[in-house]
Amino acid sequence: MTDRKINWDGFLGDVNGIEIIDDPQRVRLKSRDYFWYSPILNDVLRKRTAKLVVVPKNEAEVITVASACAKWKVPITVRGGGTGNYGQAVPLVGGIILDITRLDRVLEIGDGFVRCEAGMLVEQLDKEVHKKEQELLMWPSTRSQATIGGFIAGGSGGIGSVRHGVLRDDGNVRSLRIVTLEEEPRIITLEGPDIQKAHHAYGTNGIITELELALQPAVDWHHAVVLFDDYAEGVRFGEALCRDDYDIYLISVVDKRFSPFYRQLKDYFPNNKHAVFSMVGPTTIAQFKADAASRGGEVSLMISDDELVQEGITPSYECAWNHTTLQALKSDRSWTYLQIAYPQPYDPTADQAIMAEFGDELYLHHEFARERGDYQLFALPLLKFSSKERLYQISNRFEELGCGVFDAHVYTIAEGGMKVVDPVQMAFKHEADPYGLMNPGKTSREEADAVLAEYGEG
């Protein structure tokens, strides 16, 4: 990897006293995330690495590093837990990794909110707020490794989203405190709709050091598995659970062909039945069981979080969303995945056509979530990778059938999401990162091409 001519001695002099990692092996490890779920991204990103990792222990040190980066024109990629899927935390053109994980303190827990530093692990944060009988509204299934800042800068929603919506929905994230990349860094606090300026911006427009999130009273979630002979009936059961008066935190419908990947759950998810994995509140359990029975579903597991831990059973959330891909990859590295959104109301004919056309190349699972109050259905089908051309052929077929595809095999924000550059985020980038040093090449294909031309292909 060729770095532009950077005066590293000058930079190091300015960050003197702050922890630096320069061992090439450790730097390489910290330059990776979960991009390798995509064989396409694996080809383009696996050799990309930073020059150094810098590990500030508080916001004052973050400001010192931001200032030095601006002065010496050093590219900077912020890293939380490094669990992102699209190479979000992989430096395309060298520079430094800013490891944010030592900023890990809770600052305040109030009635309905928590303020904390951005490098806290999501699981740790959820444990802290549980001590006050509250809980996070949503989290990624990677909660034990992911940071809360990384979730907001790189993620979208996940477990809990069927109840509370996605991160971008009003009121879920209450404020972000951001350090700008300037010789004299400023602190900008974003609140309300302004959160969108930095949410899902892949750390391209400022360093989040603190944040405030909404909380809910804690619920004793029970992990449930319901078995069905017919996959479509499982989806209909999932739809029936999408009710405001139900206490539901997760609904995930999983094809029976996933069963061999979930060996630990073989007693609850046999290979001749499709499964609905769910997290259900105590007030809804009786009705949930009655609804399952009325649709021919068999409840094979209903267990509290505490009992689950005692018995060493895999939690429902590790059988859902993108943890499905992880479970499959543990057995066979040739699996990858797609990300699909369905038009509402859900019409199963698209999925029926896909299953008929692609057979064992594709295993379906469906995830329910809310966006702006409305229920939505997503799928992250597991796909047996043979070639890039074939992957896009299947992906295009979903689009022909009226579905939306969020491309998981590209590393820029624009290509992966709405296919356009977000003007609000770009305007904020001019303010928070005037030299274009933050995670260069991640906003759009055009920016990536320009950055690679400037810094060299590596």
Find the part of the chain contacting ligand FAD (CB under 6 A) among 38-46, 134-142, 348-356, 376-384: 134-142
Residue from 95, 149, 165, 185 in contact with ligand FAD (CB under 6 A):
149
Q: How far is the CB of 198 from ligand FAD (least distance, A)?
A: 7
In the bound complex, what is the minimum distance in angstroms from residue 111's beta carbon to ligand FAD?
26
We find the least distance from the C-beta atom of residue 69 to ligand FAD, in angstroms, to be 13
Residue with smaller CB distance to ligand FAD, 204 or 297 = 204
Site for ligand FAD in 187-206 (CB under 6 A): 202-203
158 binds ligand FAD (CB under 6 A): yes
322 makes contact with ligand FAD (CB under 6 A): yes
Residue bearing tokens 């109840």: 163
Contacts of 22 (CB under 8 A, 6+ apart): 52, 53
What does the alpha-carbon distance between residue 327 and residue 322 come to, in Å, rounded to a whole number?
9
Question: 152: helix, coil or strand?
Answer: helix
Q: Is 221 left (phi over 0), alpha (psi -120 to 50) or beta?
A: beta
- Please state the closest distance from residue 359 (CB atom) to ligand FAD, in A: 25
* Torsion on CA atoms 162, 163, 166, 169, rounded to nearest 10: 140
Residue type, 105: R
Nearest residue (CB) to ligand FAD, 94 versus 149: 149
Q: Which of 21, 35, 52, 80 binds ligand FAD (CB under 6 A)?
A: 80
Contacts of 174 (CB under 8 A, 6+ apart): 113, 191, 211, 212, 213, 214
Of residues 31, 38, 64, 141, which one binds ligand FAD by CB under 6 A?
141
Site for ligand FAD in 5-44 (CB under 6 A): 33-34
CB 210 within 8 A of CB 107: yes
- Minimum distance, C-beta of residue 154 to ligand FAD, in the bound complex (Å): 3
Residue 347 has φ and ψ, to the nearest 5°, of -120, 115
Please state the closest distance from residue 209 (CB atom) to ligand FAD, in A: 7
Task: Order across the sheet with 248-254: list the strands.
Answer: 298-304, 222-228, 274-280, 248-254, 365-371, 374-379, 340-341, 404-405
Judged by the rule CB under 6 A, the positions of this chain that interact with ligand FAD are 33-34, 77-85, 88-89, 100, 118, 140-142, 146-147, 149-151, 153-158, 202-203, 207-208, 321-323, 326, 439
